[in-house]
Amino acid sequence: MKLQYSAFWLPVVMAAASAAPAFAQTELIAISGVVREKGGQEGLPGVSVSVKGTSVGTQSDVDGKFAFKAKLSYPFVLMFNAIGHDSQEIQITSAQQPISVALESRGVLTNEVVVSASRVEESRLKSPVAIEKLDIRAIKETPAPSFYDALESVKGVQMLTSSLTFKVPNTRGFNIPNNFRFMQLVDGVDMQAATLGVPLGNAIGPTELDIASVEITPGAASALYGMNAINGMANLTTKSPFTYQGLSVYQKVGVNHVDGRDRDPSVLTETSVRWAQAVSPRWAYKVNLDYLRGTDWLSNTQTDQNPQGLATANPGFSDLSGQYNPAADLWNRYGDDTNSSLSITIPYQGKNQTFTVTRTGYYERDLVKPIVRNIKADATIAYKLTDNLELSYGYRFGLMDGVFQRGNKIQLDGVTVQNHKLELRGQDFTVRAYTLLENTGNSYNLNPLALNLDLQNGSNAVWGGKFSSALQSQLAAGTALGPAMQAARAAADAGRAEPGTAAFDALKAQIISTNNWDSGVNVKGAPIPGGAALTQHSRTYHADGVWNLGDRIRFLDVLVGADARVYQIIPDGNNFVDFSLPLTERNQPGGSYVYYKKFGAFAQGTKLLLEDKLKLTASVRVDYNPEFTAKVNPRLAAVYTVAEKHNFRASYQNGWRFPSLFEALSFVNNGNVRRVGGL
């Protein structure tokens, strides 16, 4: 254990030690000026004015004027950003230099500044890889229900909707509901829920009132961000409490299911509040609260998953098709798949005939919760130790309901994710440490729920015996084969818990609160009825540091960084188990924690040539997992500027991916099958 925590804190100690040169003596400089609209004389209010590479800055007043003081050394660069205008940077070389800036209004922003491509501020057009960006203006103007929904309209982004509260973005390759290959960062924090393996949409992310920008990196970003970013990355940045102060509130109301086909028309509502205040030039804080409630969309496709079912299940009986198919496996019905199939042999047409039938199962509409919620809150307190050094603590909490799909569909009910982050940011370095706490709450797996509901009406053998007797009786009475199958099923299902009854609701509640997916009807020692609860708890510990050596290495801009991550899983007996236990005892919750670790480091060099028209960037990252050999991710890029708005880019990079926690160490009970991780 000591070795684990030593490895975890090593990047923090190294980055903190490397920060020492940032405390070099500087002078207190008074900075003031005015910002105007290009082509006019009136001042431009609300312009963000900041010193590049620092957290120091202010906003222009109603007359476009600004003034602040900072400990700096000449020369330094001021950045000017305003909604609906091109960004601008100017270099300040002396106290006598007048500062008067004219920002040009643009319908399409071409001078946007991005940080995701190189982890330092740079022009979007001159970044080494393609970057798509949603800024405050684009977010305000989007017709989408939320800024997160607006990502679907960004070039190169595909959004998969699993639930009203759960959307999964992707930018390269094929998207899947549990996309392990796309990273989502919020202020530098990976939002991945460890045991589920993906960020839960924006369940714990920023609200629309607090989001400052979203940068999308299509394609591999592994060279700087590690193995999870092989398909791409979304970098979400929130507003600073020093710059964006005051009270903001919004209320959204809408209606869904307006066609009334699967569910009645329902109200969809979201309420959000943001409060931020700079108590002094040194202290600032912000608080965000958000509540969303609505009726989820319903998966109700009743198409047979096996279109060749007639030929493979009961060949030779053409009348056992469509509604008369006793082995139908419908898309959104559970408990009717091959795990619950059985063979029925009876005398028919003068000889013994064997028919394949499955248990009746239950439709998804009767197993899931129609109402979903998303409650999230976050708070940040920031303190400027100096004008160039800021220490902050942030806390995020998210609670959500929804439907998550992996091998089976999972009803997420009251899932909570918490995040604690401590960050120290200087003029040329950032070091942070954070932890994510995951609890799946009252969630449950739909497949074992349906299986165990059916098993309460008898084991497969008992149910099959009833079916066989009833089928023979129907055929003896002259009933055609198809209708005889339907009548036999009704007879075998007599006494079954039917949706809409009190008995069904009570049995369902008992099953989804039981943390053992096996049933004592089939498995010795298992509970009766079996369970379906998804009881998963995890902790993620992460530390990373980045240091820009540009002021120390004159001939080359160099950026270095390192990170370490440790996953800690509490075995639940159904998805993750204590591997030290005998095989027959691994379905018990608790036991020794499951650990999974990753470490990485990178270096990047950037050089300007040909009168700053040619920008060359080279980076290399090494990632290590104790279970695998180290992997190297290089990236080379060249950007040539022909004119101010015209650039040519050529780049090469590759990406590796370690298995996700679920892919590596899961031990999943899928009915009669165990799905085991690769390790």
More confidently predicted of 391 and 193: 391
> Concatenated DSSP letters for 238-252?
EPPTTTS-EEEEEEE
pLDDT at 672: 58
Least Cα distance to 252 among 400, 398, 374 occurs for 374
Mean pLDDT of the chain: 85
C-alpha 663/C-alpha 625 separation (Å) is 14
Is the Cβ–Cβ distance between 531 and 449 less than 8 Å?
no
Contact 351, 513 (CB under 8 A): no
* Confidence check: pLDDT of 12 > 50: no
What share of residues in the chain are helix, strand, coil (percent, to 5)?
15, 45, 40
DSSP label at residue 589: S
How many angstroms separate the CA atoms of 536 and 533, rounded?
A: 9
Inter-residue contact 489 to 483 (CB < 8 Å): no
As given in the structure block, the two tokens for residue 199 are 């960020």
- 188: tokens are 């530098």
What lies within 8 Å, CB to CB, of 478 at 6+ separation is none
Write the Ramachandran bin of 197: left for phi over 0, alpha for psi from -120 to 50, otherwise beta.
left
Is residue 671 pLDDT above 90, yes or no? Answer: no
Residue reference for tokens 């993906």: 198
Q: What is the pLDDT of residue 4?
A: 43
Residue 3 has pLDDT above 70, yes or no: no
pLDDT of residue 477 exceeding 50, the answer is yes
Report the alpha-carbon distance of residue 469 to residue 487 in Å, rounded: 11
pLDDT of 209 > 60? The answer is yes
Average pLDDT (490-495) is: 95
Q: Could you tell me the two tokens for 319? A: 């009348």
Of the CA atoms within 13 Å of residue 200, those in its CB half-sphere come to 32
DSSP codes, 275-333: EEE-SSSSEEEEEEEEEEEEEPP------BS-TTHHHHHSTT-TTS-GGG-TT--BTTE
**How confident is the model over 622-636, as pLDDT tens digits?**
999 999 999 998 889
3-state secondary structure of 595: strand
Amino acid letter, residue 241: P
The pLDDT, as a whole number, for residue 9 is 43
> Could you say which DSSP state residue 536 is in?
-
* Least confident interval from 407-416, 514-523, 640-649: 514-523
Compute the distance between CA of residue 380 and CA of residue 446 in angstroms, rounded to an integer: 38
Please give the full DSSP string across 320-350, using - where no structure is assigned: S-GGG-TT--BTTEES-SGGGEEEEEEEETT
pLDDT tens profile 91-116:
998 888 889 999 887 654 555 666 66
